Amino acid sequence: MTRTITHFVDGAARPGNGGRTAPVMNPSTGREQARVELASAAEVDEVIANAEQAQVGWAKTNPQKRIRIIMKWISLINDNIDELARTLSLEHGKTFEDAKGDIARGTDVLEFSVGAPHFLKGEFSNSVGTGIDVYSMRQPLGVVAGITPFNFPAMIPLWKAGPALAAGNAFVLKPSERDPSVPVRLAELFIEAGGPAGVFNVVHGDKESVDAILDSEVIQAVGFVGSTPIAKYIYERCAATGKRAQCFGGAKNHMIILPDADLDSAVDALVGAAYGSAGERCMAISVAVPVGKETADALRAKLEERIPDLKVGHSLDPEASYGPVVAKPALDRISQLIDEGEAAGAELVVDGRGRGANDAEFDGESLADGYFIQPTLFDNVTTDMSIYTEEIFGPVLCIVRANDFEEAFRLPDEHVYGNGVAIFTRNGRAAREFADRIRVGMIGVNVPIPVPIAYHTFGGWKASGFGDLNQHGPDSFRFYTRTKTVTQRWPDGVATGADFSMPIMD
C-alpha cells in the first residue's frame, strides 16, 4: 500500500478530512512512493487555532527553558541525521551528502537561536525625567507561519522555525508538497525534545492552504522562499491583511572571473556551484562572466575538460556528483529553456538533454524514468536570451563574455534579480570596489556560493527579496518579535493637577 503523509498537529499525526492528496515521487526512478494529504482552508484554520492556544503558555515559558528544548532538539536532529538525509534524498533527489549539508545548515540557525535570551533583552533608561524611567521589551508576535520550498526541505524550515520558536511564537509550517516527510519528522523531533504540543504544527497543502494562511487573522507574520511571482503575491497579500512578511524569490547568480584569477580554482568552484544539487539552489551560479577573450577561451576549455568527469545518478549513489531534478515538469521546463537558448543563437557547447543517468539502474531499481539531465554548457550567451533573463533552476551554465571590468560589473548590477554574486580575482582593490558598488544582497570574493553563516543575515535584493528584514542572524529576532516601550513613574501621592500641554522631560 502507498504510504500516506499526514499533517502534524498538536504533537501528533493528524489525518486530513478533505480526501485531497498529491503524489510524492522518487525523482531517481520516476515512481510514486507516497501520497501527501492536502488541507482545505477549514483544516488550516483548525491548525492555526490549535497553535494559538498553545502559544500562550509557550510565550510565558522562561526563554532559557525554551532554549534548553531547542538544544535537545539539535541533539536529536544530529542523532537522526542519516535517517533524515536518506528520506530527503529519496524525495528531493539531491545526493545523500548534499542532504546532510541541507540539514546541517539548518541546525546552524538553531544553534544561533540558543542566544535568544540575549536577543530578547530590551533597553532601559533611568531618570529621563524627574522620577520617570523608560524601558522596552521584545515580545513574540503570537502565531507565525513559514511557507517553504522543495529545494531545501530541512534547512529553510529550520531557518524559519528556530528563531520563531526561540522568541516564544507558535509556528505553523506549510512545506512543499513535493518532499514533505522531513519537515514532519523535524516537528516530531521537536516534541521528543520536550516541545509543547501545538507549538510547532505542520500542515500540507497547495494554493488553498497558502491563501488560508495569508487570510488568517491569527497569523501575524509569514516567511516565504520560492519563485519571484509567488513571493510578490504573498508579500502583497500580507501587506493587505496587515501581516509582516519576508519573501524571497528567484535568482540569476553571476560569477565574474578577472584575468588575474587562479583559473583552476575558479573552475573547481564554478563546476560545484553550477551543477551541485542539479542546479536547484537559489544560490547556484548559473552565469559565468570571464573578462577578456583569453580568459573566456581558457575558462571554456577547462570546463569542457571537467564536465565529462561529472556523474549523474541515483540520489543515494555515493559516486554521483548530483542526482535528478525534483519533478518531471521541472525537467521539461529546463529542456525547453535549453531549446530556446539554442534557437536564439547561443553556442551549445555541452548538451545535457535526453541523456539520463550515467547508470541504467541502482540497487536493482531502473533509472530509465528518473528526472535526470546531464550538465549543460552554453557559450556566447547574450543578455536578451531567455536562458540569461530567466532562472533555469537546473544544471545549465551560461558563459557571457565581457571585454572589461565595467562591462562585467553591469551584468549582475543591472539584472532584475539580486540574490548572490561572486568575483574571482587576486586584485584586492577590484574586489573591494566590486563588493561596495554592486546592487546584490550577497557577495562572494573567491567564494562561489556566498551563503552567510548563521549569525549573519541571508537575503537578496531587487526581485530576489521582498521585505526589509532578512533570514537568520539578528534580523530573524527582529522579524519574529515586536518592541513594547514602557514609560513609568511612581508618584509620591501629592496631586499636581491636570496638565494640558505636551509634557517636557526635565
Residues carrying an active site annotation? 282
Q: Is residue 445 exposed (0-12), middle (13-18) or buried (19+ Cβ within 10 Å)?
A: middle
Angle, alpha carbons 227-230-233 (nearest 5°): 150
**Cβ neighbours for 9, distance < 8 A, ≥ 6 positions apart:** 46, 47, 50, 198, 201, 202, 203
Position 414, amino acid = E
Partners of 125 in beta bridges: 134
Angle, alpha carbons 240-245-251 (nearest 5°): 115
Instruction: Give, for 295, the enclosing helix (H) or strand (E).
Output: helix 293-306
Q: Is residue 494 exposed (0-12), middle (13-18) or buried (19+ Cβ within 10 Å)?
A: exposed
Q: How far apart are CA 189 and CA 376, in angstroms?
A: 40
**Cβ neighbours for 294, distance < 8 A, ≥ 6 positions apart:** 259
Q: How far apart are CA 397 and CA 223, in angstroms?
A: 30
Partners of 420 in beta bridges: 442
Give me the half-sphere count of Cα atoms (radius 13 Å) on the Cβ side of residue 83: 11
Q: Is residue 103 exposed (0-12), middle (13-18) or buried (19+ Cβ within 10 Å)?
A: buried
- Please give the DSSP secondary-structure letter assigned to residue 89: H
What is 386-431 written as a DSSP string?
HHHHS---SSEEEE--BSSHHHHHHHHHHSSEESEEEEE-S-HHHH
CB 252 within 8 A of CB 287: yes
Angle, alpha carbons 369-372-375 (nearest 5°): 160
> Beta strands 465-466 and 244-248: pairing type?
antiparallel
Helices and strands in the chain: count of H runs, count of E runs:
16, 25
**Cβ neighbours for 79, distance < 8 A, ≥ 6 positions apart:** none
Q: How far apart are CA 79 and CA 82, in angstroms?
A: 8
Cell numbers 521546463 correspond to 333
